[in-house]
């Protein structure tokens, strides 16, 4: 989806995501894996390009999909792109649960601080984090265009 010739990501609206509790039931995602070096993705762009092409070819690409990253190790991350339907031959996953979400804005170097702030917020609400997902809302090209780098942290709390 293009908002103009120089952008590919729709402008992100943080309001529906900031300091909210969300419940998902069987939200459908296509799943892949990114290689990382100390949590720094090495092939994120290539994986996202491949996933988008696969979703588009299957008629499963959504206009503004949720794209999640599960930073499950220093050496790799599972990535999930919301899909409109199952994609033949692709690894599919469904995600269900109750999530507390908080929006952060700034350079990726702040992620460690954002995680600590998220843990404190969830703890102050009397909850425990079972799993933490990162929703990178905008590609680097569109971050430059819009001048904002929003990242949503989603803490599964059930």
What pLDDT digit, counting tens, does each position of 106-133 carry? 998 899 999 999 999 999 999 999 999 9
pLDDT at 3: 40
The CATH homologous superfamily for domain 20-156 is Regulatory factor, effector binding domain (3.20.80.10)
32: tokens are 């892949």
Mean pLDDT, rounded, for 76-84: 96
Which among 123, 22, 151, 134 has a CA at the least distance from the CA of 78? 134
First to last CA, the chain: 34
Dihedral (CA of 11, 15, 16, 21) sign: positive
CA distance 82 to 24: 12
pLDDT at 56: 95
Q: Model pTM greater than 0.95? A: no
Domain boundaries, the chain: 20-156
pLDDT at 6: 53
pLDDT at 8: 78
pLDDT at 9: 84
Q: Where are the alpha helices (DSSP H) in the chain?
A: 44-57, 111-124, 140-146
pLDDT at 2: 39
């Amino acid at each position: 989806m293009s908002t103009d010739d120089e952008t590919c990501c729709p402008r992100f609206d943080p309001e529906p995501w900031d300091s909210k509790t969300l419940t998902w039931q069987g939200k459908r995602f296509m799943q892949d894996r990114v290689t990382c070096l100390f949590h720094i993705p090495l092939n994120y762009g290539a994986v996202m390009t491949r996933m988008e092409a696969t979703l588009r070819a299957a008629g499963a690409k959504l206009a503004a999909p949720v794209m999640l990253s599960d930073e499950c190790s220093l050496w790799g991350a599972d990535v999930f792109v919301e899909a409109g339907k199952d994609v033949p031959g692709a690894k599919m996953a469904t995600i269900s649960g109750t999530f507390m979400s908080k929006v952060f804005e700034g350079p990726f170097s702040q992620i460690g601080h954002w995680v600590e702030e998220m843990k404190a917020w969830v703890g102050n609400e009397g909850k425990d984090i079972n799993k933490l997902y990162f929703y990178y809302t905008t590609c680097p090209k569109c971050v430059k265009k819009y001048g904002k780098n929003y990242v949503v942290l989603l803490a599964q709390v059930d």
